Amino acid sequence: MSAATISLKSYGNFVHSMTCDVSDPIALHDYIETAHNALGGLDILVNNPSGFGRTDDEAGWKMSIDIDLMASVRGCWSAVPLIENSGGGSIIHISSISGLTQSQRTPPYGAVKAAINHYTMTQALDLAPKPIRVNAIAPGSIYFEGGLWHQAQAKNPELYENILSGFPAVVLAHRRK
């Protein structure tokens, strides 16, 4: 994160940068309040937490629900009044194609992303009068060195190729520097 902070500051931007354990409700609330105070208001929240609960067992489901779903919900609980007091703005939830259709990913991941999609639609209706726009994006799979797809390719090439063959373009997006 410090490299991104330095890069943004080099353009003359004011940058507020910090980290937070999103699984801790108090820490998450304090994080959002601190950002609000440092930035002089809040007009956008981008929710992208993930515990990557990969296993179809108690631990995998708990991780996915507590982090992927509830950290997003709690973030909204803290941010919505601040965004409303700033005159409105946007909430963007990062979802996944796994929340839109069946996938070979783990059941907890797809289920909580489907829940995020439903939460987004409900929030969009509820918050429109405030005026707060609420949307979700499902960017699809992105391959990068050290990322989950890179790890999957190294650890289980057969599964990786099987999943890849299910994508229409039969390729993964690659991030650009």
φ/ψ (deg, to 5) at 63 = -60, -50
- Do 118 and 157 fall within a single domain? no
Region 149-162: what's the mean pLDDT? Answer: 86
- Do 98 and 33 fall within a single domain? yes
- Do 79 and 165 fall within a single domain? no
* 42-56, 67-81, 140-154: the lowest-pLDDT one: 140-154
High-pLDDT (> 90) share of the chain, %: 56
Region 10-36: what's the mean pLDDT? Answer: 94
- Do 53 and 108 fall within a single domain? yes
- Do 36 and 77 fall within a single domain? yes
Distance CA 42, CA 37 (A): 9
Residue 16 lies in a domain: no
Residue 170 lies in a domain: yes
Q: Is 57 exposed, middle or buried (0-12, 13-18, 19+ CB in 10 A)?
A: exposed
Sign of CA dihedral 3, 145, 101, 49: negative
φ/ψ (deg, to 5) at 93 = -95, 135
Residue 170 has pLDDT above 70, yes or no: no
Instruction: Please give the tally of structural domains in the chain.
Output: 2
- Do 153 and 173 fall within a single domain? yes
Domain span including residue 171: 141-177
Mean pLDDT of the chain: 89
Per DSSP, which regions of 15-165 are E strands?
A: 44-47, 89-94, 132-137, 142-143
Q: Which two tokens stand for residue 176?
A: 């650009």
Q: What is the CATH classification number for the domain harbouring 88?
A: 3.40.50.720
- Do 87 and 151 fall within a single domain? no
Indicate if 109 belongs to the active site.
yes
Residue 157 lies in a domain: yes
Catalytic residue, candidates 31, 109, 119, 160: 109
Residue 93 lies in a domain: yes
- Do 61 and 91 fall within a single domain? yes
- Do 60 and 73 fall within a single domain? yes
Residue 71 lies in a domain: yes
- Do 105 and 128 fall within a single domain? yes
Q: How far apart are the first and last CA of the chain?
A: 14
